[in-house]
Amino acid sequence: MTYSYFPGCTLKNKAKELDECARLSSECLGFTLQELPQWQCCGGVYPLGKDEIATKLSSVRALVAARDAKQDLVTVCSACHNVIKQVNNDMQSDKDIALKVNNYLQLDQPYSGETRVYHYLEILRDKVGFDTLAKLVREPFTGKKIGAYYGCLLLRPSKVMRMDNSENPRIIEDFIRAIGGEPVVYAMRNECCGGYVTLEDPQSAKIRSGKVLFCAKDQGAELLVTACPLCQYNLQKNDDYGIPIYYFTQLLARALGLRELKGVPDGR
Amino acid sequence: MQRIGVFVCHCGTNISATVDVHKVAEILGRESSVVYSTDYQYMCSEAGQNIIQNAIRDRHLTGAVICSCSPRMHETTFRKTAARAGLNSFMVEIANIREQCSWIHKDKEDATQKAIAIGRAAIAKVLLNTPLVPGESPVTKRALVIGGGIAGIQAALDIAEAGFEVDIVESKPTIGGKMTQIDKTFPTLDCAACILTPKMVDCAQNEKIHIYSYSEVVKVKGFVGDFEVTIKKKARYVDENKCTGCGACIEKCPMKKVPDEFNLGLSNRHAIYIPFAQAIPKVATIDAMQCRMLTSGKCGICSKVCTAGAIDYKQKDQFIEQGYGAIVVATGFNPISLDKFDEFAYSQSKDVVSSLEFERLTNAAGPTNGVLLRPSDGKHPHTIVFVQCVGSRDTTCRGKEYCSKICCMYTAKHALLTREKYPDTEVYVFYIDVRTPGKGFDEFYRRAVEQYGVHYIKGMVGKVVPRSDGKLEVQASDLIMGEQLHIDADLVVLAAAMESDKSARPLATMLTASMDTNDFFTEAHPKLRPVESPTAGIFLAGACQGPKDIPETVAQAGAAASKVIGLLVKNTLKGNPCVAQSDELMCNGCSSCEKVCPYGAITYVDKEFKMPNRTIAIRRVAQVNPAVCQGCGACTVACPSGAMDLKGFSNKEILAEVDAICR
Amino acid sequence: MDDNRIEEREEIERISGVDVRKCMRCGKCTATCPCYDEMEYHPHQFVCMVEKDEIEPLLKSKSLYKCLSCFACVERCPRQVEPGKLVEAVRLMVIRQQGRNHLNPDMIVKKLDDRMPQQALVSALRKYSK
């Protein structure tokens, strides 16, 4: 099974590990991520204004490319997933936006949200199956207490993202179980790490991330797993507890025996 | 020669504001065969009805057209009016110029023209009407009450008091419902068990009341006065007639770790159990999924220790068929599941509980014997936070749009009783509004604040974070002080919304009783007929019709009982004469009608017909049972030869209405 | 003067798609907001002030740049008011004006460290500038 793949800018640079491990693992699990031949940065955040059109175009171009290749679109970065999925929803349900976008793009065939957008985790859960994954695991994380960090973007707004129960999700905990670890559930796993505010107000991000880390540590997590490069950055930067923070694809690649788990990226 | 009278109602301003009623009366008065036409402010009032009656007598009317509200409102009224004046009830036609005209249009010109068209159609129809005489159907003098909570119990007691036989069907092993789980009731702080158990015992001892516990209604056929109901008595593997409720079996049962539903999982019970000490019937029940004997054939200890020989592992579900004249629905409510509200950490900490769970924690017969302790470590809670409206007043797909009505009061009760018993415990209540609409209710809530020092804060709780030191960090807003609060609580209590019991929707289908989008049974009229379903013979009592507290439930149960008594006291019921009829000369015996009839009212008989050459032919023709036929008309549509027609709504009459509108 | 305020409110309603009258003043949004302490005006105040045409103080407030766009208030509001979208609409009204970008690329250089992912820069520029 081949999926069109939108890596996003960060996965090609600071979050290379997230991307490489995703591709390695997918081959082992029986599907291929075929990077879109042309793609532009999604913008990092979904533009909330109802009259925002230009800022949504790069996402629409990615969706159209996937449609024309007759493939579903897969993302690995939570932020890209959030932007592209919400834009896709606009193209399906907001006639005004769909009209203006199609008028501008002048495609051979207007786009109306036909492409299905999946996050890598959804592929693992719904297409591969966590049971199948568990059987393929060669180096399980037995005995390791792993906390899932969802952040905001994977789950909200739940009416559009439809990934999981946004207040009591289990997709990453099920993933942790599949790779042999012991999931640690803690209340702050779906609260914001600070996000982009870290650029202008690092103190605000420090407090937000601090609360997440404290809660995870308090409930016994030995390491945290996340799907968003910005979350990883914020949590690592503001970690006073020595908790390593990995991308889920790093743990996946390690569990499948494809790659050694490097120390937390950038050698800490 | 027909003489038709037209009566146009203003309905106050309901009709006259949008329809020129004088004009309608005037124009319709010019129709051929109309000899009298008038308008009046309230046709349904005594004065209005007198106008109709006088006109019928003085002008010798052969038919009447009332241009007014929907027939659902007043068709019966006007039929009676005509009968009193000596005109056959079915020579009256209602032209609905309110719900179908004045209430839905804005332009007076257009609405008036439409009203005239509707009136013309009714005149065209009444000209073709023939006098009809309603048949009679029998009344089975027995009532069925579905649900054995306080609503069902009260209804049954009142019906039995009037001398009628009543059956209560309750799905749990005991009657009593939610009230058995409640500790004290607001605002009087009566002990719930003390006021409920005498009624439960009355039910058990009343000769006229028969309790089918651990049973469900699985099929309902028939109609008002003559329902045929199939009740499934689930196998409890204990012979009710032999079991004395001594409890010896429970003591010895080795399966001890079954979550106890009565205590909402806060404690365990055995595989064989009696839900609580005052259960009626006081008979043990075996949980088939948990019993070793029933699942794997090993054990059998209870059967050995039972001195009455009441255990019967071979018991099967029993199906009982019974006839009833009236049915009361009293299926009650449940708190909603909290799995979509995990910002409050309900699934993460044992110390975040629902209000009903809190009720169990404070009840003397509960899991902690009435001492308020944290479920996680059994310690005394020093700070308790109550969160209101969890899932109520919520327009998202997580919750219910309505207000659950009882939570403000029961939380005030919880808060007050906690402060009374444990003055060292701080109690916070986060609310959107405090709703106290009953007698003594507001006074009760103010006592909680002013006399007992409960901290009521206008705001909401946003997040609860459990900590490893056992505390629950509550983050909430205080809108009046303009602050975000962080409170370290020992216990958090969520006032979960109330929803209809799961059995309600399938039951509504079985009864063909209307239900709203929230799965509450709909009443025939929200203001004036609150205890009857629009389906004749079905009555409603308690929370199954909408959120309500105990006094309202008891009142509604009494009202439903009085309606049932009014029905059962009759020996026959006047049937609906607008039933199907087959013209046997045109019927070709194809069975199309029989197949589509939802009530099974049509059968086929062989009939003899005289043929022209003096022979007799035997042909198979349709025959409608007028007692069962509900006049839906499906058969008239299915009939290919036009033999089947509906009395009172014949094909000719309907087409005449269409022609009149198209003029 | 009053017409101006009504226009501002209509503009905000148009950009955000929010119907402020749906709010039942429960305070859940503010209760759940993670950066309450950093904000001068809180989500429930945004909703109330927009309804009352009190837009000026919001336009001048630094709260616009403290909001994390985490969508907790949107997700948990029981009436689907979506306060977070309102905050963005007010912010857009400011930054769409000529020369009113809150963040410029040249301001960023000092704030970077070598581990910061592109995502942070792109997102912040998207939110704070036009």
Residues on chain C touching B479 (C-beta within 8 angstroms): 25, 27, 30, 44
Give chain B's largest Cα–Cα span: 105
Q: Which two tokens stand for residue B399?
A: 């919750």
Largest CA distance in chain C: 50
| Distance (Å, whole) CA B550 – CA B559 | 14
Angle at CA of residue B520, ends B524 and B528, nearest 5°: 25
Tally C-beta pairs within 8 A across A and B: 29
Question: Cβ–Cβ of B464/A187 closer than 8 Å?
Answer: yes
> Phi/psi of residue B356, each to 5°?
-70, -35
pLDDT given at position A230: 94
Statement: residue A180 has pLDDT above 50 = yes
Asked if A123 contacts A31 with a C-beta cutoff of 8 angstroms, the reply is yes
Q: Tokens 């109709």 map to which residue?
A: B52
* Cβ separation C36–B484 shorter than 8 A: yes
List of domains in chain B:
4-128 (3.40.50), 142-234+317-332+501-568 (3.50.50.60), 248-305 (no CATH), 334-499 (3.50.50.60), 580-647 (3.30.70.3270)
What is the three-class DSSP state of A225?
Answer: strand
In sequence order, which residues have a C-beta less than 8 Å from that of residue B219 and are 6 or more positions away?
A: B229, B230, B510
Is C68 near chain A, with CB under 8 Å? yes
Helix (H), strand (E) at residue B24: helix B21-29
The rounded distance, in Å, linking the Cα atoms of A76 and A194 is: 20
C1 — pLDDT class (breaks 50, 70, 90): low
Confidence of residue B405 (pLDDT cuts 50, 70, 90): very high
Q: Which residues are registered as beta bridge partners of B572?
A: B138
Of B236, A201, A152, nearest to C75 (Cα)?
A: A152
C53 and C115 in a single domain? The answer is: no
For residue A50, which residues of chain C lie inside 8 Å, CB to CB?
14-17
Per-residue pLDDT, averaged over B140-155, amounts to: 98
Residue range C88-111, pLDDT digits in tens: 999 999 999 888 888 888 888 888
d(CA B539, CA B513): 10
- C68 chain-A contacts, CB cut-off 8 A: 152, 192, 194-197, 204, 208
Helix axes C83-95, C43-51, angle to 10 degrees: 70
The tokens for A229 are 């490069």
Which residue type, as a one-letter code, is found at position A185? V
**Cβ of B477 and C28 within 8 Å?**
yes
Chains interfacing with B (3 or more CB pairs < 8 Å): A, C
Q: Please report, as a single letter, which amino acid is at residue C71.
A: F
- Out of B339, B343, B467, whose CB is closest to A218? B467
Look at B582 and A261; give whichever has higher pLDDT: B582
Contact residues on chain C for A157, CB-CB shorter than 8 A? 71, 74-75
Q: What is the DSSP string of B630-663?
A: ----HHHHH-SSS-EEETTS-HHHHHHHHHHHH-
Please tell me whether residue B457 adopts helix, strand or coil conformation.
Answer: strand
Q: Compare all CA atoms of chain C with the CA of A198 and give the residue at the minimum distance.
A: C120
Task: Please indicate if any CB of chain A lies within 8 Å of the CB of C34.
Answer: yes
Backbone angles phi, psi at A227, to 5 degrees: -120, 5
Note whether C25 contacts B459, CB cutoff 8 Å. no
- Residue from the list C72, C108, C126 with its beta carbon closest to the beta carbon of A45: C126
- In single-letter form, the type of residue at position A106 comes to Q
Q: Is the backbone peptide bond immediately before B526 cis, with ω within 30 degrees of 0?
A: no
Q: Does C26 touch chain B (CB under 8 A)?
A: yes
Q: Give the number of domains in chain C.
A: 2
Q: Name the token pair of B396.
A: 């998202």
Mean local confidence (pLDDT), B474-482: 96
Dihedral angle sign, alpha carbons of residues B60, B65, B71, B77 = negative
Note whether C35 contacts A197, CB cutoff 8 Å: yes
User: Containing domain of residue C115, as a range?
Assistant: 102-130
The reply to whether C81 and C38 lie within a common domain is: yes
Interchain contact, B460 vs C36, CB within 8 Å: no
**Which residues 6+ apart lie within 8 Å of B185 measured at CB?**
B179, B191, B192, B195, B413, B550
Phi, psi of B206 (to 5 degrees): -70, 125
In the three-class reduction of DSSP (H, G, I as helix; E, B as strand; rest coil), residue B285 is classed as strand
Close Cβ partners of A2 (under 8 Å, ≥ 6 residues apart): A31, A32, A33, A34, A71
pLDDT level of residue C5 (50, 70, 90 thresholds): confident
| Tens of pLDDT, residues C15-43 | 999 999 999 999 999 999 999 999 999 99
Residue C58, chain B, CB below 8 Å: the answer is no
Are C15 and A47 an interchain contact pair (Cβ–Cβ within 8 Å)? no
Judged by a CB distance cut-off of 8 A, whether residue C127 touches chain B is: no
Q: Rounded CA gap, B174 and B285, in Å?
A: 10
- The verdict on pTM exceeding 0.95 is no
Cross-chain Cβ contact C126/A55 below 8 Å:
yes
Measured in residues, chain B has a length of 663
What's residue A264's pLDDT? 47
Burial class (CB in 10 A: 0-12, 13-18, 19+), B605: exposed
Distance CA B484, CA C68 (A): 17
User: Are B343 and A188 inside 8 Å of each other by CB?
Assistant: no
User: Which residues 44-63 in chain C show a CB within 8 A of chain A?
Assistant: none
Please check the confidence at residue C2 and state whether its pLDDT lies above 80: no
How confident is the model over B439-455, as a mean pLDDT?
A: 97
For chain A, where do the domains classified as CATH 3.40.50.11810 start and end? 130-255
Distance from CA of B428 to the nearest CA of C (A): 15
Cβ A237 vs Cβ A198: under 8 Å: yes
Tokens of B301: 């200890």
Helices (H) and strands (E) in chain C, counts: 8, 0
Kindly determine whether residue C119 and residue A229, on different chains, have CB atoms separated by under 8 Å: yes
User: What angle is formed at CA B336 by the lines to CA B334 and CA B342, rounded to 5 degrees?
Assistant: 150
Side-chain-side CA neighbours of residue A157 (13 Å):
23
ipTM score here? 0.94
Number of C-beta neighbours around residue B411 at 10 A: 27
Predicted confidence at residue A266, as pLDDT, reads: 40
Half-sphere exposure of B199 (CA within 13 A, CB side): 24
Nearest CA in chain C to A211: C34
Q: Are B560 and B540 in contact (CB under 8 A)?
A: yes
* Whether A192 contacts chain C with CB within 8 A: yes
Percent of chain B whose predicted confidence (pLDDT) is above 70 = 100
For residue B60, pLDDT beyond 70: yes
* Six token digits for residue A223: 């390491």
Contacts of A185 in chain B (CB under 8 A): 348
| CATH number of the structural domain spanning residue C78 | 1.10.1060.10
- Between chains, do A191 and C72 touch, taking CB under 8 Å as contact? yes
pLDDT the model gives residue B517: 95
Residue B9 has pLDDT above 90, yes or no: yes
Using CA atoms, how far residue B415 sits from B407, B419, B446, C27, in Å, is 12, 6, 12, 21
Distance (Å) from the alpha carbon of B397 to chain C's nearest alpha carbon: 9
Where do the CATH 1.20.1050.140 domains begin and end in chain A?
2-120
Numbered residues of chain A with Cβ closer than 8 Å to any chain B Cβ:
159, 165, 167-168, 185-188, 191, 215, 218-220
Question: Please, which residues bridge with residue B168 across strands?
Answer: B145, B211
**B584-593 average pLDDT score:** 91
C93 and C106 share a domain?
no
* Residue C107: per-residue pLDDT: 85
Chain mean position to CA B233: 22
Q: CA of C72 to nearest chain B CA: how many angstroms apart?
A: 9
Q: Which positions ≥6 away from B591 have C-beta within 8 Å?
A: B604
The Cα A35–Cα B154 span in angstroms is 70
Q: Are residues C130 and C86 in the same domain?
A: no
Among candidates B343, B395, B458 on the partner chain, residue whose Cβ is nearest the Cβ of C76:
B343
Which of B464, B468, B469 to mutate to probe the A interface, most A CBs <10 Å?
B468
**What is the percent of chain B where pLDDT is above 90?**
90
The answer to whether residues C49 and C77 belong to one domain is yes
Judged against a pLDDT cut of 60, whether residue B329 lies above it is answered with: yes
- Which CA distances in Å does B520 have to B179, B402, B501, B517? 20, 11, 9, 7
Across B306-425, the runs of DSSP E, i.e. the strands, are 318-324, 326-329, 333-335, 352-354, 383-390
- Which of B342, B397, B465 lies nearest to residue A188, judging by beta carbons? B465
A195-210 pLDDT, tens digit per residue, is 999 999 999 999 999 9
Are residues C47 and C67 located together in one domain of the fold?
yes
Q: Are C65 and C30 within one domain?
A: yes
User: What is the C-alpha to C-alpha distance for residues B604 and B622, in angstroms, rounded to an integer?
Assistant: 5
**Residue of chain A with shortest Cα separation from B347:** A168
Cβ distance B343 to C32 less than 8 Å, yes or no, reads: yes
Q: Which CATH architecture has domain A130-255?
A: 3-Layer(aba) Sandwich (3.40)
Instruction: Check whether B10 has a pLDDT greater than 80.
Output: yes
CB of B463 less than 8 A from some CB of C: yes
Length of chain C: 130
CB nearest to A196's CB, from C34, C85, C124: C124
Q: Which chain A residues touch C34 with a CB distance below 8 Å?
A: 191-192, 208, 211
Q: Is the pLDDT of residue B100 over 70?
A: yes
Residue C78 has its nearest CB partner, among B399, B458, B461, at B399
Q: Which residues contact B614 (CB under 8 A, 6 or more apart)?
A: none
Mean pLDDT of the region B544-559: 97
Q: How far is the C-alpha of B156 from the C-alpha of B613, rounded, in Å?
A: 65
Q: Which CATH class is domain A2-120?
A: mainly alpha
Bridge-based pairing of strands B165-169 and B142-146 is parallel
CA distance A216 to chain B (A): 10
- Give the mean model confidence (pLDDT) for residues B169-180: 97
- Contact state of C31 with B458 under an 8 Å Cβ cutoff: no
Task: Quickly state the pLDDT bin for A265 (edges 50, 70, 90).
Answer: very low
**Long-range contacts of range B344-348, CB-CB < 8 Å, 24 or more positions apart?**
B344/B387, B344/B390, B344/B461, B344/B463, B344/B464, B344/B492, B344/B494, B345/A187, B345/B464, B345/B465, B345/B466, B345/B472, B345/B492, B346/B494, B347/A168, B348/A185, B348/A186, B348/A187, B348/B466
- What is the full DSSP assignment across A7-55? --TGGGTTTHHHHHHHHHHHHHHT-EEEE-SS-----SS----TT--GG
Straight-line distance from the first to the last Cα atom of chain C, in angstroms, rounded to the nearest whole number: 27
